Amino acid sequence: MKSRLLLLAALALSTSVHAHADTKLPKGTALPPPEMRDEAKPAISVPLMKEVTRTLASDAFEGRAPSTSVEPKVLDYIVAQFKAAGLQPGNKGQWLQPVPTVEITAANETPLTIAGKGAAQTFAFGSDYVAASYRVTPQTRIKDSELVFVGYGINAPELGWNDYAGVDMKGKTAVILVNDPDYAAETEEGPFKGRRMTYYGRWTYKFEEAARQGATAALIVHDTFPAAYGWNVVNSSWTGAQYYVQTPDDGASQTAANGWVQKPVAEAILKAAGQDLAALSVAAKRKGFKAVPLGLTASFGFDNQVRKSVSNNVVGILPGKVHPDQYVLYSGHWDHLGHCTPDASGDGICNGAVDNATGIAALTALAKANSEAGPAARSQVFLAVTLEESGLLGSEYYAANPVYPLDHTVGGVNMDALLPAPRSRSYAMVGGDKSDLTSLFRDALADEGLREVPEDHSERGGYYRSDHFSFAKRGVPMFNIERSTDLFEGGTAAGDALSEEYTAKHYHAPSDEYSDSWNWDGIVEDVSLFYRLGRDLADSDFWPNWHKDDEFRAVRDKACAASQGGC
């Protein structure tokens, strides 16, 4: 599980059942009848999951840091497990998909200089501003780039909202507010789903959109409440090595530099421009807001040390018997943090047992259960991705260079950090009711006698923080479901205690280790649901789509309009 800028979202704790709009499957879709689904009831092997978790989380696997000397051993083990589970190699006869990455470390950063009206102002790197480049280049120099305040920096065609309307960003630097216009709402109502985080509120989106607009650079205004973390987190995340997937253009389609400024820095810059940050922030919340050229320029720069390396995704497949050219995905990341800062006991290996040896164990158990059940109508792809902890890079690489075309990929399920605990009464759909997948989820819960609860801390944007997101943002509907802490025995008091103990003591720590005393009941419940959701999709003709107002609908519709024999 990745936490570049945010803490682990605690498991859902809410006990109230959410009131949702009625969603029905589109006409002409066919799900297998209930009696067929019951026949396909999976045998999820607990001994297999224990063995895979114990092995991958043992010190012999050194915490599974990608692109280190231990990687071949990890890959060999996963391939052996996939073979034993009955999978076939999934990448044109090969098990591996190489993932070329680039590590860029900046040095010799200059101050940020703002000029144009009155005396020039300078701001120090680290304490006032931070920046990095997505481009593979020895030196980044932003010189006299005109500043434009672009509000929240959102271009959402499905909402008729474009903060960049009428401005040409070429050569310019965008100054962007963090989060989205209705983040402070009490409810989840509003064009940007109220307090619930949308993709448009994520900092990654803002830099992507600035690049699409042709901007030279982009600076986000930090503010602790809407960002949900302090400047210290921004500072530590944006200094030191940054990791990216290698692209054919070496990042040339990205902005030359992306960064953040402290709120008082933005206030001072806007004041020099004769503007007021507070007033402009209010104006930016309204549809039809017009970007404001500030009449000022920004200059800053740094040197880049570049190191290229390669890691690998593991790809296995169970070919479908009716529609072998339609694919359902199961994914989970194999990488973890490797050697890390030793704890008080002197243990310096972050083993990543929960995060995410459990996900690879679940992936293996799902492969075995599906191959024992016999081929589904559609093909099922099992993807153990690398470099999640470095920023979802393995899934990003697969989604940008898909082995199986994304317009032929029906949807999928991602598994990240399954917490050992007794069974829970309820599950949440992380991200909320975004797509037609919600109906499948509700059917599965009803059949298992489980309840639906809303995602806890929807303002944290958990949906945008693990590997399913690399597919979702390219339009593929992906499940991210979360077991609640409301245990059948002990309720939320017991469940919260377990969840909080993991977050406080073991998350990304050397003590995230396997134990024979783990209770696997909750994980078995998860994996049974994953089986059901994946198998239902794989045995149907159903092509789920995002709801009309969803941020990923437009990209899916575009892909499907051009698709030959896919969605």
Contacts with Zn ion, residue ranges (CB under 5 A): 1, 355
Q: Which residues contact 38 (CB under 8 A, 6 or more apart)?
A: none
Torsional sign, CA 252, 253, 259, 265? positive
- Of the two residues 406 and 421, which places its CB atom closer to Zn ion in the complex? 421
Helix 71-84 with 46-56: angle, nearest 10 deg: 170
Element of type H or E holding 321: none
Residue nearest to Zn ion (CB): 1
Please say which residue, 1 or 217, places its beta carbon nearer to Zn ion: 1
Burial, 5: exposed, middle or buried (Cβ in 10 Å; 0-12, 13-18, 19+)? Answer: middle
Least Å distance, CB 512 to Zn ion, is 9
Nearer to Zn ion, 1 or 428 (CB): 1
Q: How far is residue 281's CA from residue 413's CA, in Å, rounded to a whole number?
A: 38
Taking the complex as a whole, how short is the minimal distance between the CB of residue 122 and Zn ion, in angstroms?
38
In whole angstroms, the minimum distance from the beta carbon of 152 to Zn ion comes to 29
Helix axes 71-84, 358-373, angle to 10 degrees: 20
Closest distance to Zn ion from the beta carbon of 475 (Å): 26
Minimal distance, residue 179 CB to Zn ion, in Å: 23
Distance in Å, CB of 8 to Zn ion, minimum: 8
Nearer to Zn ion, 341 or 564 (CB): 341
Q: Which is nearer to Zn ion, 241 or 446 (CB)?
A: 241
Distance separating alpha carbons of residues 412 and 402, to the nearest angstrom: 14
Shortest distance, CB of residue 116 to Zn ion, whole angstroms? 44
Could you tell me the end-to-end alpha-carbon distance of the chain, in angstroms, rounded to an integer?
30
The alpha-helical segments, DSSP class H, found in 285-418 are: 358-373, 393-400
Do 129 and 155 meet the contact criterion of CB atoms below 8 Å apart? no
Least distance (Å) between residue 525 CB and Zn ion: 22
CA 301/CA 294 separation, integer angstroms: 21
**Closest separation between CB of residue 389 and Zn ion, Å?**
5
Q: Where are the beta strands (DSSP E) in 157-251?
A: 161-162, 173-177, 217-221, 242-245
* Amino acid making up residue 488: F
CB of 417 to Zn ion, least distance (A): 7
Strand stretches in 108-249, DSSP E: 112-115, 121-123, 129-132, 139-149, 155-156, 161-162, 173-177, 217-221, 242-245
483 and 522 Cβ atoms separated by less than 8 Å = yes
* Nearest residue (CB) to Zn ion, 71 versus 486: 71
Q: How far is the CB of 443 from Zn ion (least distance, A)?
A: 31
Nearer to Zn ion, 332 or 454 (CB): 332
**Comparison of 315 and 392: residue with beta carbon closer to Zn ion:** 392
Burial of 113 (0-12, 13-18, 19+ CB in 10 A): middle
Tokens matching residue 473: 């943002």
Q: Which lies closer to Zn ion via its Cβ, residue 355 or residue 486?
A: 355
Looking at the Cβ atoms of 433 and 467, the one nearer to Zn ion is 467
Interatomic CA distance for residues 88 and 222, integer angstroms: 48
H or E element: which one contains 188? none
Smallest distance, Å, CB 359 to Zn ion? 10
Q: Which is nearer to Zn ion, 111 or 391 (CB)?
A: 391
Alpha-carbon distance of 179 to 206, in angstroms, equals: 9
Nearer to Zn ion, 1 or 177 (CB): 1
Identify whether the C-beta of residue 111 lies closer than 8 Å to the C-beta of residue 122: yes
Residue 225, C-beta contacts closer than 8 angstroms, at least 6 positions apart = 184
